């Protein structure tokens, strides 16, 4: 069997998407300011109570950011894992997160506003990904996957070095805490405009990966097989990498570095629907969105001095990843 | 239409094969034999268009497909999907593979008698089963030229027989099949044998190519029996 479930591929995806939606409604209406779902729905249409509108205004952007980032990171992770046929491939594979961190840190150092920081992070992530892909293309080795992994490490290391430099230059009482907090990752600082700004590239990347579908399966067989099957392997691989890098950059730009979702969600999805890209990516995205919403609610539940979601996702994600790995290995 | 090679020199950096002139008619099975390192894989990949020729010309009657030796392809998805990916080239810009692609894949598995493998993950099949699934994919892909790299390596006698039957079926439908092999009895049953020595290439009918003196010239040792299975060659 392809996965544990004998159901058609879209059933688990639909179920998990609905679950993520339910979780979102619960998160919107719970907490110090409790609002029933019906009220929230009315508020969405512009006819709700003032409590509902307040809850929507306070929690909506953050929730939207969590849903977007969770789905985008999970989709990008699934894409990378398929492309490289390596279960350890994560959205950071091309050094995108380090590049985004570097971009954000530079912007924070220069005293830029929130939207500019997000833009700088986005551009930093994309530039690092492009650097990795460009260097790998220069090597012209037969199957470009090893070159890409190496160039990703190099590009990420360069960005990390730049980040280290910025950190040493930063003013220790105001800029440094801001940079550190940004790097730890959080959905708390999301605003509606920031979340919406990330939604656009994330959607473009997602649509591209979903269109690639079976072509990703062919690419996972290696460039030689892909070409022998009549597909333009190199251009398709670059399109896929760009789509995944776009999704990662969009997520990191709005939320900082939130690890493990991109590693964890594809593994969970693979356990259910198997490895076909057309089934794996949508389900991984639904799981990623659900995971991000739940983990963010947990982070907020720690009280006014909430735990950065990046820390919590690692604390929950690492053991969960181990569990999934054991489950997957036992089935093999 | 035939596959025509005119003064083809295949090779990679620092390694070139002797020039080759050859025409292979549709429906022919050509066995490519020669010692390890002689360049059999390089030649097959060049014929498939995966490597650029150093010089000379290749005229293909249609698209070519290359299949590496058993065990070289790894995929986690079901065998049916692997076979259906044979249509990837035809669906290059389509939104997805369609039901008729899956039907074609299923028909191909059925005709090779492996329909029971359809839902099993490719990675968990034996080398022999994997090879049959990949040959089923060749039927789905319907390439005019099929280039198979040691399709019988690692296979038990039953699977080797099944694969040989499948290869013949590929050719019977008018495709050109060129397979490298160390299994000399298989080469004996081919329509033509291409012997690739250290600095010469020779195309001959099987009886001539597999004569004791030719084999001695090719491999440098006495090989009255097949090196891979011990069967008498003639």
Nearest CA in chain B to A6: B119
Chain A residues within 8 A of B47 when measuring between CB atoms: none
The interface residues of chain B toward chain A in range 149-208, judged by CB-CB distance below 8 A, are: none
Task: Indicate whether A77 pLDDT > 90.
Answer: yes
Task: Indicate whether A310 pLDDT > 90.
Answer: no
Contact A237, A83 (CB under 8 A): yes
Angstroms from B87 CA to nearest CA on chain A: 8
pLDDT given at position B230: 66
From the list A225, A228, A275, which residue is nearest B77 (CB)?
A275
Please report the number of interchain residue pairs, chain A to chain B, with beta-carbon separation below 8 angstroms.
75
Task: Indicate whether A6 pLDDT > 60.
Answer: no
Task: Indicate whether A5 pLDDT > 60.
Answer: no
Please state, in angstroms and rounded to a whole number, the distance separating the CA atoms of residues B199 and B18. Answer: 6
Q: With cut-offs at 50, 70 and 90, classify the pLDDT of residue A332.
A: low
Nearest CA in chain A to B77: A275
Task: Indicate whether A36 pLDDT > 80.
Answer: yes
pLDDT tens digit sequence for A262-307: 999 999 999 999 999 999 999 999 999 999 999 999 888 876 777 8
A251, A308, A256, A244: which is closest to A101 by C-alpha? A256
Residue carrying structure tokens 């030649």: B43
Please state, in angstroms and rounded to a whole number, the distance separating the CA atoms of residues A280 and B175. Answer: 36
Chain B residues within 8 A of A276 when measuring between CB atoms: 77-78, 81
Angstroms from A86 CA to nearest CA on chain B: 11
Chain B residues within 8 A of A237 when measuring between CB atoms: none
Query: Is A274's CB within 8 Å of B77's CB?
Result: yes
B141 touches chain A (CB under 8 A): yes
The whole-model pTM stands at 0.91
C-alpha B45, offset from chain centre = 10
Query: Is A213's CB within 8 Å of B96's CB?
Result: yes
Q: Which helix (H) or strand (E) segment is B135 a member of?
A: helix B127-141
From the list A211, A217, A232, which residue is nearest B95 (CB)?
A211
Q: With cut-offs at 50, 70 and 90, classify the pLDDT of residue A178.
A: confident
Q: With cut-offs at 50, 70 and 90, classify the pLDDT of residue A140.
A: low
Contact B3, B176 (CB under 8 A): yes
Alpha-carbon distance values, A316 to A17, A295, B168 (Å): 21, 8, 56
Angstroms from B129 CA to nearest CA on chain A: 16
Please state, in angstroms and rounded to a whole number, the distance separating the CA atoms of residues A314 and B95. Answer: 36
pLDDT tens digit sequence for A91-120: 888 899 999 999 999 999 998 888 899 999
Residue carrying structure tokens 């014929």: B47
B168, B65, B81, B161: which is closest to B117 by C-alpha? B81
Query: Is B78's CB within 8 Å of A2's CB?
Result: yes
Say how many C-beta atoms besides its own lie within 10 A of residue A243's C-beta.
24
pLDDT tens digit sequence for A210-226: 999 999 999 999 989 99
Please state, in angstroms and rounded to a whole number, the distance separating the CA atoms of residues B234 and B232. Answer: 6
Please state, in angstroms and rounded to a whole number, the distance separating the CA atoms of residues B110 and B91. Answer: 22
Residues A124-154 as b/e (b if ≥16 CB within 10 A, e otherwise) read: bbbbbbbbbbebbeeeeeeebbebbbebbee
Q: With cut-offs at 50, 70 and 90, classify the pLDDT of residue A147.
A: confident
Is this complex's ipTM strictly greater than 0.85?
A: yes
Nearest CA in chain B to A227: B50
Q: Supply A239's token pair.
A: 């399109």
Sheet holding B20-24, edge to edge: B20-24, B3-9, B55-59
Q: Supply A185's token pair.
A: 């990752």
Task: Indicate whether A72 pLDDT > 90.
Answer: yes
Averaged over successive runs of 10 residues, the pLDDT of chain B (234 residues) comes to 95 91 96 94 96 96 94 92 96 92 96 95 94 97 96 91 95 97 93 94 94 90 70 67
From the list B48, B89, B97, which residue is nearest A231 (CB)?
B89
**Which of B46, B67, B76, B99 best probes binding to A when mutated, by most A CB atoms within 10 angstroms?**
B76
pLDDT tens digit sequence for A233-271: 989 999 999 999 999 999 998 988 888 899 999 999 999
Task: Indicate whether A3 pLDDT > 80.
Answer: no
Q: β-strand B20-24 against B3-9: which pairing, if any?
A: antiparallel
Q: What is the DSSP string of A221-253?
A: T-HHHHHHTT--HHHHHHHHHHHHHHHHHHHHH
DSSP-assigned beta bridge partners for residue B64: B145
What is the average pLDDT value for chain A, to the nearest integer?
A: 89
């Amino acid at each position: 069997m392809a996965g544990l479930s004998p159901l058609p591929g879209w059933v688990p995806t639909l179920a998990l998407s609905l679950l993520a939606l339910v979780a979102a409604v619960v998160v919107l209406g719970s907490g110090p300011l409790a609002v029933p779902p019906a009220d929230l729905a009315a508020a969405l249409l512009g006819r709700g109570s003032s409590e509902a509108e307040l809850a929507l205004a306070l929690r909506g952007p953050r929730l939207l950011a969590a849903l977007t980032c969770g789905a985008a990171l999970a989709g990008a992770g699934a894409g990378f894992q398929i492309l490289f046929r390596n279960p350890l491939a994560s959205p950071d594979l091309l050094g995108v997160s380090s590049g985004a961190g570097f971009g954000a840190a530079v912007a924070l150092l220069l005293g830029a506003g929130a939207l500019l920081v997000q833009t700088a992070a986005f551009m930093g992530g994309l530039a690092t990904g492009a650097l990795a892909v460009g260097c790998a293309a220069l090597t012209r080795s037969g199957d470009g996957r090893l070159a890409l992994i190496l160039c990703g490490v190099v590009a990420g290391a360069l960005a990390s070095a730049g980040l280290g430099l910025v950190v040493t230059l930063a003013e220790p009482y105001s800029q440094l805490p801001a940079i550190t907090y940004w790097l730890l990752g959080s959905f708390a600082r999301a605003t509606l405009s920031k979340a919406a700004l990330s939604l656009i590239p994330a959607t473009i990347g997602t649509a591209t990966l979903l269109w690639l579908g079976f072509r990703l399966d062919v690419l996972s067989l290696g460039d030689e097989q892909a070409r022998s099957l009549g597909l333009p392997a190199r251009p398709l691989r670059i399109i896929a990498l760009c789509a995944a890098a776009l999704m990662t950059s969009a997520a990191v730009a709005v939320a900082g570095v939130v690890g493990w979702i991109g590693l964890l969600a594809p593994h969970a999805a693979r356990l259910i629907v198997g490895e076909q890209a057309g089934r794996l990516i949508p389900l991984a995205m639904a799981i990623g969105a659900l995971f991000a919403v739940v983990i963010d609610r947990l982070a907020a539940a720690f009280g006014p001095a909430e735990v950065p979601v990046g820390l919590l996702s690692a604390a929950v994600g690492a053991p969960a990843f181990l569990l999934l790995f054991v489950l997957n290995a036992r089935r093999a | 239409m035939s596959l025509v090679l005119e003064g083809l020199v295949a090779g990679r950096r620092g390694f070139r094969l002797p020039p080759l002139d050859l025409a292979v008619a549709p429906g022919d099975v050509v066995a490519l034999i020669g010692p390890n390192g002689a360049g059999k894989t390089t030649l097959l990949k060049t014929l498939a268009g995966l490597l650029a020729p150093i010089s000379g010309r290749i005229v293909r009657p249609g698209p070519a497909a290359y299949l590496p030796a058993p065990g070289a392809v790894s995929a986690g998805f079901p065998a049916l999907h692997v076979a259906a990916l044979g249509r990837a080239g035809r669906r290059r810009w389509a939104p997805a593979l369609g039901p008729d692609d899956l039907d074609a894949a299923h028909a191909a598995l059925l005709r090779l008698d492996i329909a029971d493998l359809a839902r099993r993950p490719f990675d968990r099949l034996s080398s022999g089963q994997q090879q049959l699934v990949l040959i089923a994919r060749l039927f789905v892909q319907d390439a005019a030229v099929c280039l198979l790299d040691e399709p019988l390596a690692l296979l038990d006698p039953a699977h080797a027989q099944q694969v040989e039957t499948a290869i013949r079926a590929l050719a019977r439908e008018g495709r050109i099949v060129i397979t490298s092999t160390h299994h000399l009895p298989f080469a004996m049953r081919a329509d033509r044998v291409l012997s690739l020595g250290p600095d010469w290439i020779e195309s001959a009918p099987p009886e001539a190519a597999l004569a004791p003196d030719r084999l001695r010239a090719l491999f440098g040792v006495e090989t009255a029996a097949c090196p891979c299975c011990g069967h008498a060659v003639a």
